[in-house]
Amino acid sequence: MVKTLKGNIVSKSSKIIIGGCSFTDKDFPIINKRDMKIRYNRDVDLSDVKVWPEIIKEKTTYEVINLGVCGYDNSQILNSLLDEVSKHDSKEIAFVIAAWTEWPRNLKSNYVETTLNYMNTFDLYCINKEVDYRQIQMCNIKKEQLFKDVVKHSMLYELDKSKIIGFPMFKLGGGFDGEDLIGNNIDKSEHPNKRGHEILAETILGSLK
């Protein structure tokens, strides 16, 4: 249960566990600063950029456990979350959030069925553990053919859509992913800028009800 107290969000359960890729990695602003210098010969000040889990941590009284790692694929995101949840008493966990990366990453084929299987595994695991959870597709998956392949797959409809931010995760289907959500609030490396992370934090916090 979430309630407001002096502008903060609090809960009887004390922890939020978050998994993701570079959109979520708390160290990515440091990595990005280095890459911007190497790739674009450009010095940038990213000292005030906080990734969205860190903003959630600041705006709430939760202990935020951020498992995001730059370069993670969806199997690594899933496994990191399941492993971390298993270490805690379910009663201490307020929410578990899966912030999925691009579907084809490290997959040569069958990435629609494979990714939907990851999502269903996460869904069922959280239900079994009796912990509340959310899923959000972070990286853009606008391609029309991918959308057609997903919407005709039965596993999409086995998911609890009330737990998926932006369902069905495609702009073509009336939903959205993280990149749709932040719009032009990206930096030159095509990752969220300061405002982009603020938008992600605001949206995800708004779903935790």
pLDDT at residue 38 in the model: 45
Sequence-distant (6+) residues with CB within 8 A of 10 are 2, 3, 4, 60, 61, 62
| Top-confidence residue, 46 or 89 | 89
Report d(CA 201, CA 183) in Å as an integer: 14
> Which H/E stretch holds residue 164?
strand 164-165
Residues 93-120: tens digit of each pLDDT: 999 999 999 999 999 889 899 999 999 9
Residue 44's pLDDT is 57
Nearest CA to 28 out of 208, 191, 201 is that of 191
Supply the pTM of this predicted model.
0.87
- What pLDDT shows up at residue 10? 47
pLDDT digits (tens, 9 = 90+) for 28-60: 665 555 555 545 455 555 567 789 999 999 999
Note the Cα 83 to chain centre separation in Å: 17
Bridging pattern class, strands 2-5 and 8-11: antiparallel
What pLDDT, on a 0 to 100 scale, did the predictor assign at position 46?
Answer: 56
Within 10 angstroms of residue 46's Cβ, the number of other Cβ atoms is 17
Least-confidence region, from 105-119, 160-174, 184-198: 184-198
